[in-house]
Amino acid sequence: MEREQRRTQVLEYAQRIFARKGFHDTNVADIIAEAGIARGTFYLYFENKRELFETLLDQALGDIETRILRVRRGPGQPPAIAQVRANLQRVFEYMLAHSELLDILLHHASGFDPVLDEKLAQFSARLTADIERALSLGVDMGLVRPGNLSVAALCILGAVREVIASAVRTSPGNEPRRAPAVDELVESVLAVGLRGVATARLLAGEEG
Amino acid sequence: MEREQRRTQVLEYAQRIFARKGFHDTNVADIIAEAGIARGTFYLYFENKRELFETLLDQALGDIETRILRVRRGPGQPPAIAQVRANLQRVFEYMLAHSELLDILLHHASGFDPVLDEKLAQFSARLTADIERALSLGVDMGLVRPGNLSVAALCILGAVREVIASAVRTSPGNEPRRAPAVDELVESVLAVGLRGVATARLLAGEEG
Amino acid sequence: MEREQRRTQVLEYAQRIFARKGFHDTNVADIIAEAGIARGTFYLYFENKRELFETLLDQALGDIETRILRVRRGPGQPPAIAQVRANLQRVFEYMLAHSELLDILLHHASGFDPVLDEKLAQFSARLTADIERALSLGVDMGLVRPGNLSVAALCILGAVREVIASAVRTSPGNEPRRAPAVDELVESVLAVGLRGVATARLLAGEEG
Amino acid sequence: MEREQRRTQVLEYAQRIFARKGFHDTNVADIIAEAGIARGTFYLYFENKRELFETLLDQALGDIETRILRVRRGPGQPPAIAQVRANLQRVFEYMLAHSELLDILLHHASGFDPVLDEKLAQFSARLTADIERALSLGVDMGLVRPGNLSVAALCILGAVREVIASAVRTSPGNEPRRAPAVDELVESVLAVGLRGVATARLLAGEEG
DNA sequence: GATGAATGAGTCTTCATTCAT
DNA sequence: GATGAATGAAGACTCATTCAT
């Protein structure tokens, strides 16, 4: 436990620096200075800089996936929309409370290491597949309009991602965002996702 | 002009390499080897590696924005949906035909230089603002449902981005994607954006 | 005594590793892993890595010198040749049975530490002097042809060394070499040393 | 040629340092300081420290082998002994004039890199095979006494090696050894090799 | 006595950039 | 304009040794 604690501590320091300076511009020197440990100590806990970063990434991805629960149907289960809403809420709250992680995910995790890239790609693929499965189920139950569900899944994932990214950008501090804001964000995303942006009139083409 | 041609040539070579190896893993040595010029010559055409990359990025962002036309209303103008559809189509086609650029944009352009990061952020901000403005107009005309339009704009941007990213991923080759595929992609994105994924029944909460 | 046993045990483990990987490539980590002791414990038994190695070397050199008995003359003593033969036999047998030691001696003991180098140089010098003294005695008794005896001594030492090195190389395993082989080796070396390789005809220059 | 000259220059500086401090204790910093070049320049000419060392070794081994001519028989050829003597003389002279190289060969070239070790082993093997072949020819012509020729070859190689090593040790300076000394060394080695050290009386066992 | 976490000096290697030719 | 040899700052990683528990 002793060891785990130390590791975790260093991970936290490193996370902050990575978020601020990115992977390449973060030296081991930076990390150990921040963590107040000696150079050799760093390598006692991590194989190298990349492994540390990978750990951070795994953690973040895992934390996020943990917060996404499969939508369940059946007596006693909340309505589907409520379950989706709860998922969104959990993810938004987590991400906004860990904006550093998000920053790493969005800006620094990609393009410098094939292994990590693959990891991220698989994460996205997993999420997309989850969403698509849910949609497919919805279609079967008459809750979701049929169509190209994989594209729809991508749209939903992309929308969520972008909104979160934007939200983090505008609340750079670490103070947890006011609850109402998250609620509104979630509602808005949900609204767009469920009903789209168009009115009947637009859809009818009666624009003139 | 001679000079401009040379510069352009080197830029093209560099683009290929950046797309393949990312910014940090691309050496000046790689670029000059590919371009067949001497080390010193490189610095005759570019201030440094970063400037070259920035040029590439500016180009890409400019090309994309060029393809997005403001939705115009009035007699003789095509219906709004048609204009949006045309925008999507142009962007999709361009991106799929220049997947290298996209790769750079998505994977290698972020997180290693504050200046470039800022540029990307502003690009996103500009696009979001454009979309939001269009939506706002739509609301005024009764074509778009009112709501949190900035979130809606983000959703749309994110959806498009994700779908393009996925499309590029699955068509790694350089051969231009078959037209029908682009059409279908565009239609699907449009459908989700305009009408959402839910059926009336889901929205009514009559799931039980 | 407890302590001595521990030390000896570690020395044995270390010997194996040094023989396999050399001095510089053998880490303290390797040794303690093999010996199953903690890092700090190592420094309880040895001042440092070099001291351990030096101990090993001293041991080897001592073991070898122990097996070389001064040739004695006088009633009741075996003939000189028999005594020399016995010396050779003992050294060959010991070395072949401890090829790891030899490996260290031949390959890893030289050139990285002035102190150890000096030790090896003195060992060689001692052996050469012993041989030279024996030869000198032989000259006095008419058993050895006069000549540059120090060169002759070097030749003998070098010949023995090379033959042993070669023998060890070809019997890499740890199984003790079959006795006959050692015998033949010894006889051959002895033959060359005593009578040289030339026939009378070559010496007479009647080659044409 | 420019480039080759530079390389050669650095090699010479490096040789001196390697001879003095060995491979492991010689830093790239030492070499570049001595050669008066920048750190990066070093890596312009050599892949790394090992490659430089390997080059040095190859050169030395090549130089030596160049000086060993196969003994040729036939009308107009000098007597075999004269040819062997000439070989010895050339090798002795070269080695004594390049004692630094020898130092590297004897003390620093072994045991820290499998590739180099193999190279040295093959060098020895080649020399031994050459000698054995010559002996075998000699046997056929009645000039060499039959016996275990491969052991005999090893004895000769070892004798020469040891004598040279000793000679270099005692003439550490760089001044070429006085000619007579080399001659005497060669004669003495030759005498031992050809006729051995024993008198007829010793061989007859009439020692008592 | 034993442990093993912590140390930090030491080294190799890379690479963007310069500048004399 | 073009060249490419030279530069040297920067950074990752190793490992013998110490010392508090």
Mean pLDDT of B142-150: 92
Q: Do D194 and C201 touch (CB under 8 A)?
A: no
Q: How far apart are CA C79 and CA C76, in angstroms?
A: 9
Length of chain D measured in residues: 208
Question: Which helix (H) or strand (E) is A32 found in, with range?
Answer: helix A28-35
Q: Where are the domains of chain D?
A: 1-46, 49-204
Residues of C in contact with D147 (CB under 8 A): 188, 191-192, 197
Min mean pLDDT across A82-86, A121-125, B105-109, C134-138 is at: B105-109
The confidence score (pLDDT) of residue B185 equals: 93
Q: What is the pLDDT of residue D6?
A: 87
Please identify among residues 30-59 of chain C the ones whose CB lies closer than 8 Å to any CB of chain D: none
CA dihedral sign, ordered C20, C23, C25, C26: positive
Would you say C155 and C132 are in contact if contact means Cβ atoms under 8 Å apart? no
Tell me what pLDDT residue D21 has.
83
Residue C204, pLDDT score: 77
Instruction: List the chains bordering chain C where 3 or more Cβ pairs fall under 8 Å.
Output: D
Distance D10 CA to F3 C1' (A): 24
Q: Which fold has domain D1-46?
A: Arc Repressor Mutant, subunit A (1.10.10)
* CB contact (8 A) between residue B154 and residue A159: yes
B45 to chain A, closest Cα gap in Å:
26
Question: Is D49-204 assigned to CATH 3.30.365.10?
Answer: no
pLDDT score for C14: 94
What is the per-residue pLDDT across C61-83, written as a single tens digit (0 to 9) for each? 999 999 999 988 888 899 888 99
Lowest mean pLDDT among A67-76, C33-42, C106-115: C106-115
Q: Which residue is nearest to nucleotide E18 (CA to C1')?
A: B40
Structure token digits, residue D6: 């530079």
B80 touches chain A (CB under 8 A): yes
D189 vs D104 pLDDT, higher one:
D189
For an interface test with B, give the residue of A123, A162, A190, A201 to mutate (most B CBs within 10 A): A162
> What are phi and psi for residue C64, nearest 5 degrees?
-70, -45
Confidence category of residue A204, pLDDT binned at 50, 70, 90 = confident
- D33 contact to strand E (CB, 7 A limit): no
Instruction: Tell me the chain A residues in contact with residue B143 when contact means C-beta distances shorter than 8 Å.
Output: 198-199, 201-202, 207
Helices (H), D22-173: 28-35, 39-45, 49-66, 80-97, 99-103, 114-140, 149-170
Please write the tens of the pLDDT for every residue from A124-183: 999 999 999 999 988 998 899 999 999 999 999 999 999 998 988 776 555 555 545 899
Instruction: Give tens-digit pLDDT for B89-101.
Output: 999 999 988 888 7
Domain B53-204: CATH superfamily is Tetracycline Repressor, domain 2 (1.10.357.10)
Average pLDDT, chain A: 87
Report d(CA D134, CA A34) in Å as an integer. Answer: 71
* Residue at shortest CA–C1' distance from E7: A38
Chain C residues near residue D50 by CB distance under 8 angstroms: none
- Residue C142 and residue B185: Cα distance in Å, rounded? 107
Handedness of CA A22, A27, A28, A30 (dihedral sign): negative
Q: Are D128 and D197 in contact (CB under 8 A)?
A: no
**Chain C residues with beta carbon closer than 8 angstroms to that of D207:** 73, 79-80, 141, 143
- Angle, helices A80-97/A49-66, rounded to nearest 10 degrees: 150
- What distance in Å separates residue B154's CA from the closest CA in chain A? 6
pLDDT at residue A171, as a whole number = 62
| D in contact with A (at least 3 C-beta pairs within 8 A) | no
- The whole-angstrom separation of Cα D70 and Cα D97 is 23
Answer whether CATH 1.10.357.10 is correct for domain C50-204. Answer: yes
**pTM, whole model, 2 decimals?**
0.85
Q: Answer whether any strand E atom is within 7 A of the Cβ of C38.
A: yes
Q: How far is the C-alpha of D163 from the C-alpha of C156, rounded, in Å?
A: 10
| Chain D nearest CA to C163, separation (Å) | 6
Task: Kindly list the residues from chain C whose CB atom is less than 8 angstroms away from the CB atom of residue D203.
Answer: 194-195
- Chains A, B: CB contacts within 8 A come to 191
Q: How high is the pLDDT of residue D149? A: 94
Residue window 143-202, chain B: list those with CB within 8 Å of chain A.
143-145, 147-148, 151-152, 154-163, 166, 169, 184-185, 187-189, 191-199, 201-202
